[in-house]
């Protein structure tokens, strides 16, 4: 079968560079990251306002803010985390 448009783009990226980090980043942009806590490995994330590729530089500050909230108000944060995580499969601890 003929190459798809995405297949041609992937080959073009590999012609442009042999840097594995750049190739992986471009591949992630093409296919999408899939689910953070699920099994789907491609497609768009279901975040309403965030884009992990665009906002990657914000992740350390967000992590620190989340840790501070959890330490200061665990009685409020823990139920929210439980409610959010209860609906997904637990694949992070394999």
Residue range 57-91, pLDDT digits in tens = 888 998 899 899 989 998 988 888 877 777 555 54
Are 42 and 32 within 8 A, CB to CB?
Answer: yes
CA dist., res. 41 & res. 35, Å (int): 6
- Sole residue written with tokens 């959890």: 70
More confident residue, 54 or 63: 63
Strand intervals (E) in the chain:
none
**How confident is the model over 16-46, as pLDDT tens digits?**
999 998 988 888 888 776 555 555 555 555 5
pTM confidence score: 0.42
Encoded tokens for 33:
């990251």
For residue 78, the surrounding DSSP H or E stretch is helix 74-86
Sign of CA pseudo-dihedral 88, 60, 28, 93: negative
């Amino acid at each position: 079968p003929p190459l798809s448009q995405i297949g041609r783009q992937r080959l073009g990226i590999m012609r442009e560079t042999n840097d594995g980090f750049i190739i992986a980043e471009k591949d992630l942009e093409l296919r999408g990251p899939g689910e953070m806590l699920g099994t789907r490995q491609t497609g768009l994330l279901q975040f309403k306002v965030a884009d992990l590729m665009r906002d990657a530089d914000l992740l350390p500050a967000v992590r620190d803010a989340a840790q501070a909230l959890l330490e200061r108000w665990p009685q409020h944060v823990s139920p929210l985390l439980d409610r959010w995580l209860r609906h997904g499969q637990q694949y992070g601890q394999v």
